[in-house]
Structure 1
Amino acid sequence: MNNHAATQRSGPRRHAAARPAAWPFVLAALISLAGMAASFKFFIKTTTGQYMDESALVEAAVVGERIGTQVAQVLDLLPATSLVIAVLVILFVTLARRRWKAAGFALVAMAAANLSTQLIKAGLPDRPDLGVNTLALNSLPSGHSTLAASAAAAVFLVVSPRWRPAAAFVGGSYAVIAGISTLINQWHRPSDVLAAFFVVAFWTALAALVVMRTGPGWNVWLGADKHWASSRWWPALAALLALLAGAAAFLILRSVSGATSTTSYFLLGVGQIMVVGYGLTVAGTLLLTLPVRRRSRR
């Protein structure tokens, strides 16, 4: 009995000695910042970017008419619904598993992402006049998309490693759908959604480093074949969707100079949202599972 208790007490210390390196998380945060800056520079500061963005927003009206008012109303609820789901899941995990620190850092990251979005939106200048018929008011990043993505990221941070691959895919899909819904309802342009995803990714990467280092006792990887939520199929499916969306966006981009449908730029915008959304999903899954996988082999 004493030996077993001693083993339990020594376990966390042994895991804590193998803390994950900080540089992958810092690098991920810097890449996210670069993505945010690139979204602003191309879609706001260039004529081509403005035209693509505004065309997608205009064509979204056609899609909105086709799917009907009821479907659009359901899409309206997605960002707020994601917040309720995230709070309930975090509350359950915190009370059931006593992951107080992880829950705290996840909520701080969620709040920081949403606050940053509002500050960036207020601080960035209006869209410059580059000859494109568009509203000058800056709408980047999307607050609705930030809310949905940050809620999904908060759940991703608090669940144990065996649940993270599935949680990342489900949460990433939810954020992608919520982002597309803001486009369909003509609340935001595609670039607004992309910028929101990068803002959330920045704070998630920083919070992930703290979560991984303050919860070594439960950040333990059992193996991809030990639980259905740990399956390699989750990141593989996200990567496949990102690749397919990227290929479709590339083909649409090549065809827009010729005869196109009335929704070409809208579909291009959807493809961009899916590429970034699912691409970040894969990156986040690898970022938080690879360190515990290496540690479990030691």
Structure 2
Amino acid sequence: MNTHAASHRSGPSGRVVERISAWPFLVAALISLAGLVLSYRFFVETATGQFIDESALVEAVVARQRIGTQTAQVLDYLPATSVVLATLVVLFVTLARRRWKAAGIAIAAMAAANLSTQLIKALLPDRPELGVNTLALNSLPSGHSTLAASAAAAVFLVVSPRWRPAAAFVGGSYAIVAGMSTLINQWHRPADVVAAFFVVAFWTALAAHVVMRSGSRWNVWLGSGEHWASRRWWTALAALLAVLALASGALIYSSVMGAEDTSTTSFFLVGVCLIIAVGYGLTFASTLLVTLPVRRRSFR
């Protein structure tokens, strides 16, 4: 893998096209890996993290009661449905635009993310006993959330640059709702969902560089005003929602810091805010990661 920013080659029209550096993508992958490790270290290996995580899971029953059993059951189908929707979109783009390499890379990344999640879950030891009433069996990362997020990432990778801002936001929103559904239905704790997002982000970052290097002919930026799907407000909205969720979660948690011995419904909201903040934060970062390089290359 060539990481030199000054590497060039001839484009389809004979003009010189600057190759995209691998370093931003490698750094993004390492940051995602660090996020995965930190999620495990705090929410599994510390008493405070375990208490927050487990309290959110226990209190999810309140949300389930409020939205109704039937709605909760519908939410439970979201991860599997995402695979069907992503397959249709990827298949359409592949056939219509002849992006066979991009489709293969996207599918490989999706498979790698889901395989990694299952391996991590199987290899990690049981949750340590830290005085928190919780099941010992490790459930991190969430397989359901990995499935939904990786399906959205596959679509994100195969669509053209003008579609990526919108595809990232819509796909990220779907993955977030799917992740929240696993919490509401008490399948997974918030940290399980967040860890799954980091696993997908890791493989997406690596795959994105390969897609952009192998598909330089169609990875061309035509401007944020060229198409409604490429408007800047998609990225700005993701960033805004991430910041609002992070701030809300911090405020809610600070209001119950002195009452950690008695669980309240606030911890469920903290868990939801955590999922939203990380989900939209990674959506924002992923969009910048793939749009900024093609912008610089296209405008030179």
Normalised-by-shorter TM-score class: over 0.9
Instruction: Give the corresponding residue for 1:221.
Output: 221
Q: Deviations over 1:158-214 (max 9, x none)?
A: 000000000000000000000000000000000000100000000000000100000
Match of 1:288 among 287, 290, 298: 290
> Which segment is superposed worse, 155-164 or 68-77?
68-77
Q: Following the alignment from structure 1 to structure 2, what is the Cα–Cα distance between the partners of residues 186 and 179?
A: 11
Secondary structure of the structure 1 residue equivalent to 2:12: helix
Instruction: Give the corresponding residue for 2:270.
Output: 268
CA contact (8 A) 1:16 1:216 kept: no
Q: Deviations over 1:4-57 (max 9, x none)?
A: xxxxxx742657731110000000000000000000000000000000000000
CA contact (8 A) 1:43 1:53 kept: yes
Q: Can you give the 5+ residue segments of structure 2 that lack an aligned partner in the other structure?
A: 1-9
Secondary structure of the structure 1 residue equivalent to 2:217: coil
Q: TM-score, normalised by structure 2?
A: 0.94
Secondary structure of the structure 2 residue equivalent to 1:84: helix
Secondary structure of the structure 1 residue equivalent to 2:218: coil
Amino acid at match of 2:228: W
Count of residues in Structure 1 that have an aligned counterpart in Structure 2: 289
Q: Following the alignment from structure 2 to structure 1, what is the Cα–Cα distance between the partners of residues 241 and 79?
A: 22
Amino acid at match of 1:77: Y
Superposed displacement of residue 59, structure 1 = 0.3
Q: Following the alignment from structure 2 to structure 1, what is the Cα–Cα distance between the partners of residues 166 and 14?
A: 28
Alignment of 1:153-192 (within 5 A): 153-192=153-192
Secondary structure of the structure 2 residue equivalent to 1:45: coil
> Which segment is superposed worse, 62-71 or 256-265?
256-265
Q: Can you give the 5+ residue segments of structure 1 that lack an aligned partner in the other structure?
A: 1-9
Instruction: Give the corresponding residue for 2:147.
Output: 147
Change (3 A) 1:287 1:135: same
Q: Following the alignment from structure 2 to structure 1, what is the Cα–Cα distance between the partners of residues 239 and 296?
A: 22
Instruction: Give the corresponding residue for 2:68.
Output: 68
Secondary structure of the structure 2 residue equivalent to 1:139: coil
Segments ≥4 residues shifted beyond 6 Å:
none
In terms of fraction of residues, the more helix-rich structure is 1
Instruction: Give the corresponding residue for 1:3.
Output: none
Secondary structure of the structure 2 residue equivalent to 1:284: helix
Instruction: Give the corresponding residue for 1:244.
Output: 244
Amino acid at match of 2:281: G
Superposed displacement of residue 263, structure 1 = 1.6
Amino acid at match of 1:271: C
Q: Following the alignment from structure 2 to structure 1, what is the Cα–Cα distance between the partners of residues 162 and 86?
A: 18
* Paired-residue identity, %: 77
Superposed displacement of residue 92, structure 1 = 0.1
Superposed displacement of residue 261, structure 1 = 8.7
Superposed displacement of residue 98, structure 1 = 0.2
Superposed displacement of residue 66, structure 1 = 1.1
Instruction: Give the corresponding residue for 1:37.
Output: 37
RMSD: 1.4
Instruction: Give the corresponding residue for 2:281.
Output: 279
CA contact (8 A) 1:16 1:213 kept: no
Q: Deviations over 1:88-129 (max 9, x none)?
A: 000000000000000000000000000000000000000000
> Which segment is superposed worse, 248-257 or 118-127?
248-257
Q: Deviations over 1:129-175 (max 9, x none)?
A: 00000000000000000000000000000000000000000000000
Superposed displacement of residue 274, structure 1 = 0.6
Instruction: Give the corresponding residue for 1:138.
Output: 138
CA contact (8 A) 2:86 2:151 kept: yes
Q: Deviations over 1:231-280 (max 9, x none)?
A: 00001000110011011001011101357994200000000001100000
CA contact (8 A) 1:15 1:216 kept: no
